[in-house]
Amino acid sequence: MAKILVTGSDGQLGQCFKEVANEFSKHKLLLVNQAEVDINNKKKLSNKYEKIPFDLIINCAGYTNVDKAENEVADAEEVNFLGVKSLVEFAEEKKIKIIHFSTDFVFDGKLYNRSYNEMDTPNPINIYGKTKLSGENAIKKAKCPHTTFRIAWLFSPFGNNFIKTIIKASRSKNSVNIVSDQWGKPTYGIDLARALLSRIEHPDLFKYETYHYAQGPKTNWFRIASKVINLLGVNCNVSPISTSDYPSVAKRPLSTPLDTSRVEDTLALSIRDWEIALEDCLTNLQTNEVI
């Protein structure tokens, strides 16, 4: 039985862990939000540990607003680097394990002929990506078992994400314009949480410092939006536009599909396509009357 502290439990990914936790009742999951455990506050972390000791931290906490980060560099650094560093120090001190999440945005997106694998060199082009890379490097220095899962374009029934934005837009507008020249592979948070918890005691989980977890085939935002609207059966026209027609504060890498062979081979996982996961996500939203 693993005793796991999941930080950032009110965030999108944190809620995915909450959603599947009861499927893994042989493990003890202690889900804590920022008010309960601020990852920058070692005292709160220690207090939690003294009350209920855990042997692994899954860190779902993060500063994730890509555009705001451009003007809030210190805030992004505080959580994505200093917070992670603080967790690492705590994990080393207590001799426990740590699992962290990073992003495809550590890459510059200029590798067009194949997906990025874990050996490719990161080169972030925005502040969010830079702070996430600093966090990865902090994890790599840990003198306790550690690993980072790079994920991308996270979607789920929870929090704010592109799928929910499109659902809302399609209900209030007759047409939407969506960027079609940014390529990647999305990650369904529920699948990720389930996959990770199912392999939490796998002997090779900490064999590598970095894994990529995302769902093929490679796609773009326009295709995802079209699929959502098609599955919902709503009358809303989706038109492709280019990144230059949709200016944003932070630069986005143009092509960051993640190669997932390492995680699939090492942990004996078979990652399903994002379209199938999307159907599940919409069913979950409908069942819970969110849409």
What residue ranges bind ligand NAP (CB under 6 A)?
A: 7-8, 10-14, 34, 38-40, 60-62, 64, 79, 83, 101, 103, 132, 151-154, 159
Bridge pairing between strands 219-220 and 183-184: antiparallel
Least CB distance to ligand NAP at residue 38 (A) = 4
CA pair distance 135, 246, nearest whole angstrom: 29
Least CB distance to ligand NAP at residue 212 (A) = 11
Closest CA to 142 of 57, 29, 203: 57
Spatial contact of 234 and 60, defined as CB atoms under 8 Å apart: no
Which residue's CB is nearer to ligand NAP, number 34 or number 170?
34
Q: What are the residues facing 57 on neighbouring strands?
A: 5, 98
For residue 125, which amino acid is it?
I
CA pair distance 186, 141, nearest whole angstrom: 28
Which residue's CB is nearer to ligand NAP, number 145 or number 159?
159
Chain residue whose CB lies nearest ligand NAP: 11
CA pair distance 219, 132, nearest whole angstrom: 23
Which residue's CB is nearer to ligand NAP, number 51 or number 203?
51
Which residue's CB is nearer to ligand NAP, number 11 or number 267?
11
Which residue's CB is nearer to ligand NAP, number 64 or number 226?
64
CA pair distance 205, 231, nearest whole angstrom: 36
Least CB distance to ligand NAP at residue 90 (A) = 13
Least CB distance to ligand NAP at residue 51 (A) = 17
Which residue's CB is nearer to ligand NAP, number 161 or number 234?
161
Least CB distance to ligand NAP at residue 153 (A) = 5
Least CB distance to ligand NAP at residue 147 (A) = 14
SS3 98: strand
Task: Identify the sign of the CA torsion 211, 215, 219, 221.
Answer: negative
